[in-house]
Amino acid sequence: MREEIAIGLLYSVTGTYGMIGRDVLDGAMLALAENAAKDACPVRFRPVLRNPGGNIEAYLSMGADLMARDGCRHVLGTITSIARKEIIPLVEKHDALLWYVLPYEGFEACENVIYTGAAPNQHIVPLFEHMLAQYGSAVCLTGSNYVWGWEVNRIARELVNAVGGQVLGERYLPFDDTDTARLIDEIERKRPDFVLNNLVGTSSYAFVRAYHALGQRNPDFAPEVRPVVSCNLTECELPAIGAEAARGHLCSAIFFENADSDESRAFRRKVTRAYGAERRLSAYLVAGYEAVRMLERTIVQTGSSEIDIVRRALYAQEFSTAAGPLRISAETNHASLTPHLGRINGHLSIDIIEKAAAPIPADPWLVNFDTSEFARNVHRRRGGGRQLRAVR
């Protein structure tokens, strides 16, 4: 009899950011199905699914259920930082391990959380190094009204100031608010070189569509001239925006489906078998999949699902993932990741335009970030020099 390990999956697959939750969950379920099919594997997972539906109150009660009643010591879960911060005290209380796999705003390193999504030095910093050099340094910032947008926009402001640029506007929408008229109006008046979009879910999709309408009315706002850039928009959400409206804007992520590697091609084959050839790959799908695989491999290696043993074994190895090599730092519990920069093409997919040469360790407090070095890098790029390896 194989050891059966309860694994909690706490994702909102309905509600304003349900598409993201669905993608992460599908990735996790793919790895769990693979696990179940491996007769020789000494570890078998028992997935316990909960859907808080984007309702912040539900995270706490469902999280408590997962850990107290269902005995889950490992929980993959939460999309937004509000939800993560809400359940961290609970995870600490039960001495469980939360696998948080989404890009986030940093300034956190909980002993009971493994962070496999990008931290700011892995998303906004490389994205802005490109944008400030290629498009200019007059910027409008926008976001959903909570910590993700607030903090990433604060960092963006610091980056813009570092190169002597100007933040022309900063505006927030409540969750699920799709009334973007004032936002669009302000952007049209202020004519930024580009717009940073930290909106989440339905607000983000509505904004990109409205920006497209603006661009059709006024060619000055075509994506080639003044693009919208995001650190939290992936292939899985593009259908909600529409191919034409999404085309030409830029995104930062740790994976795009057009990645050219053996690992990503192997992942593509598995996804096609499980979900059909039409299924888009995304950083979120990969994140759910790889987190379960890392957990499986570590438990097989150590013969234990005790979180202290798992954690120590995680630090000691390098994982080969669809998004490239990945290590978990013993100092920060964060993953080293390879930042990619992509441009949305007209076929609901994202073409890679730049990629870091090697994985970059997370720096959740931006301890090693140096504004003058950042300014020098931007300056060098303006002169035609390249810090990141250009792809294609």
Partner 1 sequence: MSPPRQSNFRGRRALILHRANGDTGRLARQLERLGMIVECAWPDFPAGGEFADVVLFDADNGHPGMWPWAEGEAPVPLIALFGSELPSRLEWALDQGISAHISKPIRSSGVFSALVVAFANFAAAAEAAARLARLEARLAARPLVLHTLVALMTKCGLTEEEAFACLRRAAMNERLTIEDFCARLDEFRLAALTRRLMPVAGQGGRK
Task: Output the six-digit token pair for 87.
Answer: 């359940």
147 binds partner 1 (CB under 8 A): no
x/- map, 148-177, partner 1, by CB under 8 A = ----------x-------------------
The count of other CB atoms within 10 Å of the CB of residue 98 is 26
Of 89, 94, 102, which is closest to residue 74 (Cα–Cα)?
94
CB 149 within 8 A of CB 142: yes
Residue 44 beta carbon to partner 1: minimum distance, rounded to whole angstroms: 32
Q: Is 93 helix (H, G, I), strand (E, B) or coil?
A: helix
DSSP label of 339: -
Choosing from 67, 88, 119, 259, the residue that interacts with partner 1 (CB under 8 A) is 88
Number of residues located near partner 1, criterion CB under 8 A: 16
Query: Residues 238 to 297: which contact partner 1 by CB under 8 A?
Result: none
Residue 141 beta carbon to partner 1: minimum distance, rounded to whole angstroms: 14
365 binds partner 1 (CB under 8 A): yes
70 binds partner 1 (CB under 8 A): no
CA distance 41 to 252: 36
Phi (first) and psi of residue 327, to 5 degrees? -125, 150
CB 243 within 8 A of CB 346: yes
Stretch that binds partner 1, among 16-24, 106-114, 227-235, 342-350 (CB under 8 A): 106-114
Q: Is 22 helix (H, G, I), strand (E, B) or coil?
A: helix
Residue 3 or 331 having the CB closest to partner 1: 331
CB 179 within 8 A of CB 20: no
x/- map, 185-224, partner 1, by CB under 8 A = ----------------------------------------
107 binds partner 1 (CB under 8 A): yes
78 binds partner 1 (CB under 8 A): no
Which residue is listed with tokens 């890392």?
A: 294
Choosing from 110, 184, 300, 391, the residue that interacts with partner 1 (CB under 8 A) is 110
331 binds partner 1 (CB under 8 A): yes
| Order of all β-strands in the sheet with 3-10 | 43-50, 3-10, 74-77, 97-100, 113-115
List interacting residues with partner 1 (CB under 8 A).
88, 92, 107-111, 158, 331-332, 364-369
